Amino acid sequence: MRLHRLLLLALILSGAAFGDTASDDRSAKDIVRDALNHWRGVTSQGEMTMVIHRPDWERSMSMESWTQGEKRSLVRVTAPRKDRGNGTLMDDNKMWSFSPKVNRVIKVPSSMMNQSWMGSDFSNKDISRTDDIVEQYDHTLVRESELDGHVVYEIESVPHEDAAVVWGKEVLSIREDNVMVEQRFFDQDMQLLKTLTTLEFAEMGGRTVAARQRMTKTENANEWTEIIVDSVEFDVDINDSVFTLSNLRNPRE
């Protein structure tokens, strides 16, 4: 730890251009990027359950998901029947949604990316899991700690002045095996608005993943949304046609 502090001091005194502190030979930016890539893999295919909880009611939805690289993802609801077929497609930072009830594919404008996704506490942006945070933020390693035998890096990520984001900053806690432990979102006044917390870890698809995560808004801890990963496989063969508007409307996969 003494060597690490000396290295950190040297970076500060030298006015390092990137503003990232080194940790296990990775910069803070590398750690954030590796955590995103760990979750997605080169490709991934999985099943998950989303539970939306409110003080007077609770509902759940079953879903399937596919990802390909850093830019493409598809999420489709499989149950309950009234929601079956609802889907969200992300391709190169563009998002579309499909509702069988109205039989329409709608492009989600950038102005709506921070709105609720399917009535949950996750936003459209949260679900897209794009890597904007990697390139549009400056990342600083704040501290290292230990949790259940794992080193955890706490990283403060502050958006560039010209970044098209609503957050004043995000604070991420990431284990040394690239699994996200917690992600906190602050507004422009640096007030904590919501927190994504990993409640369960599990081995799936040959790696450790965040198997149950809960998004909670600071103003009301009794309202939350959980996403539970039921199964996931990484680095599987997925046809490019999965990530098309045609497949969003008329599923073939």
Q: Can you tell me which residue has the tokens 């596919």?
A: 66
Q: Is 229 contained in some domain?
A: yes
* In-domain check, residue 83: no
* 102: number of Cβ within 10 Å: 8
Please count the structural domains in the chain.
1
pLDDT tens per residue across span 15-74: 333 333 344 568 999 999 999 999 888 999 999 999 999 999 999 999 999 999 888 999
Tokens 């906190």: give the residue. 184
- Give mean pLDDT, residues 124-133: 78
Question: How many angstroms separate the Cα of 42 from the Cα of each of 68, 133, 165, 191, 196?
Answer: 6, 19, 26, 35, 24
10 domain residue, yes or no: no
Amino acid at 40: R
Each residue of 110-120: pLDDT tens digit?
Answer: 888 889 999 99
Domain that holds residue 39: 19-64+119-237
Determine how many CB atoms are found less than 10 A away from the CB of residue 242: 20
Dihedral sign from CA coordinates of 38, 43, 47, 53: positive
31, containing H or E segment: helix 28-40
CATH code of the domain in which 194 resides: 2.50.20.10
Written as six digits, the tokens of 52 are 């939306």
- Two structure tokens written together for 59: 């509902």
| 220 falls within a domain | yes
Q: Is residue 110 part of a domain?
A: no
Nearest to 184 by CA among 205, 167, 202: 167
Q: Is 181 left (phi over 0), alpha (psi -120 to 50) or beta?
A: alpha
| Structural domain includes residue 126 | yes
Asked if 29 and 156 touch (Cβ cutoff 8 Å), the reply is no
How many Cβ atoms sit within 10 Å of the Cβ of residue 157? Answer: 20
Q: Closest Cα partner for 80 from 63, 101, 97, 102?
A: 63
Instruction: For 139-175, write each residue's pLDDT tens digit.
Output: 999 999 999 999 999 999 999 998 888 899 999 999 9
Strand partners, 105: 98
* E strand or H helix that includes residue 4: helix 2-14
Structure tokens at 229: 């990963």
| Residue 177 domain flag | yes
Instruction: Tell whether 132 is covered by a domain.
Output: yes
Task: Quick: pLDDT tens for 169-219.
Answer: 999 999 999 999 999 999 999 999 999 999 999 999 999 999 999 999 999
H-helix or E-strand containing 223? strand 220-234
Which residues sit opposite 97 in a β-bridge?
A: 88, 106
What are the C-alpha distances in Å from 186 to residues 23, 73, 173?
24, 26, 14
Mean per-residue pLDDT, 63-90: 94
Please state the pTM of the whole predicted model: 0.85
